[in-house]
Amino acid sequence: MGGVAVAGSPILTATPASAATVDIRTVCTASSTSGTTITLTGDCATTDNLTVPDGYTLNGAGHTITATDASPADPLLGPVVGNAAGATTMNIENLTVRGDYLPRDPADSRTNAPYFGIRFLSASGSLSNVTVTGITRHQTYNFGQAINVDATSGGPRTVTVTGVHVSDFQKNGLTANGAATMNVTGSTLGPPDMAVPLPAPPITGNIAQNSVQYFNSSGTFTDNTVVTYTADNSASSSTGMLLFTANNVTVDHNSITGPNGADVGINVTGGTNITISYNDITRSPIRPPLRDFWGYGIAGYSGAAATTTLICNTFSGWNQNLFGGLTQPPCIITPSLHNGTVGVDYTDVIEAVTENPDPDLTWTVLSGDFPPGLTLNPDGTITGTPTTAGSYTFVVQVSDPVDGTSTREYTIVVDAAAPGLTLAKTATATNAEGRPIDELTEAGDVVTYAFDVHNTGNVPFRALTIAETGFSGTGAPGPITCAPTPLGGTLAAGASTHCTATYPVTEADIAAGESLRNTATASGLLPDGATFSSEPATTSLPITPAGPTPPPTHRPTHQPTRPPGHRPEGPEVNTGGSLADTIASPLAWPVTGAAVLLTAAVLAAAALLRSRRRP
């Protein structure tokens, strides 16, 4: 069917002769090849099995390959995309594979054979940013897998799966078989095809669908979302993950959920060295007419209880969180303990959660160096007063009669006491009208003092006080109020409090002049009862009395105009000062001028009298 077959044996002998196994570029002609990278430049449809050459990377570039049947009589079986025959390496990225198979009767046996979206057959490689959906024919046959990594022959193979989405599959979403190591992260697996009809009687339930399956295989499964469903079958259960005789598998920090109901979150059957840790395993109720036959968060079979380690998984909505002899010890959830200080009361708590809804936890110090002066109480609280500075590392153990024991190591550093207290003081002023002023000028001005107290040490101060140790004012300052820590309260290590007080300036303060000075000290009690004080803090404001109001200045209404260099007529009169200097003063001119005129008149009269006396 379209294209030239690639040399080599067909992948599946069950594939009808009309479906060819061809190089992907034969069908998806909208593509380009550069080196060992094939890049699609458009979507394509196929009724053939498409292969990727050995060592090549298929970059879908965001495009879709749609698979369908040539006809009802010629179903497309085998993989839509797989590695070429004999190829040992294949990488696929940025691709969507979608199944769009022809409708058929649920009992049509022609499709009772394996078919896949993507298959690694005895090959290693990677999948990144790949979506596979619709690999289903809505039948109750145990076939129809979205992604399959098959290393049942050809030796160990490793495939890395990152950012993959699979959904609407008939049997399995993501499967590793045989000597395959499949490492999966950041992917979403499920939900399966939830429209598979129930088979005809006497079968009383549907097929068991598994969103993820490790079969005789190994790997890591981390930070993924798994969506599962119910088989509505009392004989077989659907699972979020099926670990069937798997070996060396770690399932860590995943979300496994059944939003429309689920049978089993994780099924562990046999296997060795299985670790399931820090997963959130939840389901919603199964609604009628579907039936709830199972309801296990994690179920163990065939000796799994002896080879499976459960750590800090959380459960919700299950009939039974653990089944088949599996146990999960208490999960200690306190990440660290705070440090302490010599002489300062210490309180902390270590907490644990259990899958058992009614735990009876008891805490003890198992080993190590516990801080002197402290006690780990049976309820997990740590109380006391450290007595000796140092770094103390120890191991605690929590025990529960049902879930067993867990341990965890902690370190508490106890510091030597190092008290420290600072006080910063400032002063601002306003006049009687409330306007800010820079200096005090009259009685009635108001000074506002601000005190900022800061605990710079590592111990608290009890009974906080602020003392005015030096004040030059003649009156008494108002009360000091503080927030958030009031006077008399306890100022915690590293904490601060802001305080204020006011003072009305008196007549005596103004009369004294110079400045209004204030010195204060903050103090508190140390844990041992000793008093510790800050350095004094001083502030001052200048005093400048306003003084009397000067009288008004009167100026003459007329002032004679004198030409430059003018001198009055008559003899020069020297009264001990410069006449010119006197005349130069406008305010002195009327008086000076009158004196000059009077002197001239006297001299004239004396001359007239002498002339009359002459014979």
Backbone conformation region of residue 128, classed left if phi is above 0, alpha if psi is from -120 to 50, else beta: beta
Asked if residue 299 belongs to a domain, the reply is yes
How far apart are the C-alpha atoms of 92 and 163, rounded to whole Å? 12
Lowest mean pLDDT among 49-63, 233-247, 551-565, 591-605: 591-605
Considering the domain boundaries, does residue 557 fall inside one? no
State how far the Cα of 167 lies from the Cα of 194, in Å rounded to an integer: 10
Domain match, 100 and 156 both: yes
**Contact of 266 with 283, CB cutoff 8 Å:** no
Tell whether 218 and 204 lie within a shared domain.
Answer: yes
Q: Report yes or no: 361 and 380 within 8 Å, Cβ to Cβ.
A: yes
564 within domain boundaries = no
The counts of H helices and E strands in the chain are 5, 47
Final residue of a domain: which of 375, 390, 415?
415
Give the domain CATH number at 394.
Answer: 2.60.40.10
The answer on 272 and 134 residing in a single domain is yes
Q: Which domain holds residue 401?
A: 331-415
In one-letter notation, the amino acid at residue 556 is P
Contacts of 365 (CB under 8 A, 6+ apart): 376, 394, 395, 396, 397
- The per-residue DSSP string of 343-380 comes to TS-EEEE--EE-SSSS---EEEEEEE-PPTTEEE-TTS
| Predicted confidence (pLDDT) at residue 601 exceeds the cutoff of 80 | no
Give the pLDDT band of residue 357 (cuts 50, 70, 90): confident
Quote the Cα angle for 450-452-458, to 5°.
165
Dihedral sign, CA of 14, 160, 5, 103? positive
Position 107 scores a pLDDT of: 85
**Do 230 and 308 have their domain in common?**
yes
Final residue before a domain boundary, out of 275, 292, 323: 323
- 2 assigned to some structural domain: no
pTM of the model: 0.74
Backbone phi and psi for residue 322, each to the nearest 5 degrees, phi listed first: -125, 140
Residue 207 CA to residue 359 CA, distance in Å, equals 37
Does residue 502 share a domain with residue 399?
no
Say how far apart CA 1 and CA 47 lie, in whole Å. 7
The number of distinct structural domains making up the chain is 4
Whether the Cβ atoms of residue 275 and residue 253 lie closer than 8 Å to each other = no
pLDDT one-digit tens code per residue, 167-195: 999 999 999 999 999 999 999 999 999 98
CA dihedral 348→353→358→361, nearest 10 degrees, is -50
Q: Are residues 146 and 199 in the same domain?
A: yes
Same domain membership, residue 365 and residue 297: no
Domain CATH code at residue 470: 2.60.40.1510
Collapse the DSSP code of 596 into the 3-class scheme (helix H, G, I; strand E, B; otherwise coil) and give the result.
Answer: helix
What was the pLDDT predicted at 612? 38
Both structure tokens of 592? 């000076």
Q: What CATH number is associated with residue 231?
A: 2.160.20
Kindly tell me the burial class for residue 329, based on how many C-beta atoms sit within 10 Å of its own C-beta (0-12, 13-18, 19 or more): buried
Token readout for 471 is 């004040």
In 3D space, the residue among 502, 521, 520 whose CA is nearest the CA of residue 429 turns out to be 502
Q: What is the pLDDT of residues 492-506, one digit of tens each?
A: 999 999 999 999 999
User: Which one, of 369, 337, 352, lies nearest residue 405 by Cα?
Assistant: 352
Locate tokens 């009635």: which residue? 444
Write the pLDDT tens digit of every residue in 430-453. Answer: 998 999 999 999 999 999 999 999
438 and 397 part of one domain: no
Does residue 155 belong to any structural domain of this protein? yes
pLDDT digits (tens, 9 = 90+) for 443-493: 999 999 999 999 999 999 999 999 999 999 999 999 999 999 999 999 999
Which residues does residue 280 pair with via DSSP β-bridges, in sequence order?
255, 314
Q: Is the pLDDT of residue 10 over 70?
A: no
- Asked which of 365, 399, 415 is the last residue of a domain, the reply is 415
Q: Is the pLDDT higher at 563 or at 326?
A: 326
Higher pLDDT, 201 or 374: 374
Judge whether 318 lies within some domain: yes
